[in-house]
Chains A and B, each alone.
Chain A
Amino acid sequence: DQQVKQNSPSLSVQEGRISILNCDYTNSMFDYFLWYKKYPAEGPTFLISISSIKDKNEDGRFTVFLNKSAKHLSLHIVPSQPGDSAVYFCAAHKGGSEKLVFGKGTKLTVNP
């Protein structure tokens, strides 16, 4: 049973446009959400996170939105750059748990 779902395996956008990556979760006990970025042949690197007490967190070109009632979060990248081309993983965990649950990832391609 997949608790964190990224239903789009891939996304292609033009440089300078907005990229929107989506993530849904089923476990209402999750209270912290993270996005990781992964380049080929490298480990995932932390990008941005959000606590369940917030509905938005912004860091430069990256913004994460959380809709708790819909159990949905999204990552917005504005403007998108070719260097953003990577696989993006959504992850979540419950307070008091050391374990992160990951989605399957979305491969973002930003075309020059």
Chain B
Amino acid sequence: NAGVTQTPKFRILKIGQSMTLQCAQDMNHNYMYWYRQDPGMGLKLIYYSVGAGITDKGEVPNGYNVSRSTTEDFPLRLELAAPSQTSVYFCASSNRGSNTIYFGEGSWLTVV
């Protein structure tokens, strides 16, 4: 039961570097999301997608980009890493008409 799979699990980046967090789901869900969680805080929505080719900004999109070329994949791109992007990133997915979102295990990112 793969569900939502995120890679890498851990990553250390230097300021100004770029990287892509990968996310794949095998549940044929229409909707996919990227959240970040800072220490002691709730999850904040970065970007979401309601289907292949359609993406939209969430609450905290600055510094990130996404694409959704297939139903299964929803990568998150950090172009110029900043210390403020040190966080835990969660990818998630859900089905149209369902209120329940399923999360991946998270990606721990440190920018130094």
Residues of A at under 8 Å CB distance from B? 4, 6, 9, 32, 34, 36, 41-46, 49, 89, 93, 98-100, 102-105
Known contacts A93-B99, A100-B45: A43-B90 contact under CB 8 Å: yes
Which one of B4, B33, B42 lies within 8 Å of A103 (CB-CB)?
B42
**How far apart sit A99 and B58, CA to CA, in the bound complex (Å)?**
8
Q: A93-B99, A104-B41 are in contact. List 16 more A-B contacts (CB 8 A).
A: A6-B42, A9-B40, A34-B100, A41-B105, A42-B106, A43-B92, A43-B104, A44-B43, A44-B103, A45-B103, A46-B102, A98-B48, A98-B50, A98-B94, A99-B45, A102-B42
When A and B form their complex, what is the total count of cross-chain residue pairs whose Cβ atoms lie within 8 Å? 51
Contact A32 B103 (CB under 8 A): no
Q: In the complex, what residues of A have CB within 8 A of residue B33's CB?
A: 98-99
Q: In the complex, what residues of B have CB within 8 A of residue A93's CB?
A: 99
Contact B99 A49 (CB under 8 A): yes
Within 8 A of A (CB), among B85-102: 90, 92, 94, 99-102
Say how far B17's CB is from chain A's closest CB, in angstroms.
24
**How far apart sit A38 and B56, CA to CA, in the bound complex (Å)?**
26
Instruction: Count residues of chain B with CB under 8 A from any CB of chain A.
Output: 24
The yes or no answer to B74 lying at the interface (CB within 8 A) is: no
Say how far A49's CB is from chain B's closest CB, in angstroms.
6
Contact A44 B42 (CB under 8 A): no
Residue of B nearest to A105 (CB): B42
Q: In the complex, what residues of B have CB within 8 A of residue A6's CB?
A: 42
Q: In the complex, what residues of B have CB within 8 A of residue A46's CB?
A: 100-102
Residue of B nearest to A33 (CB): B99
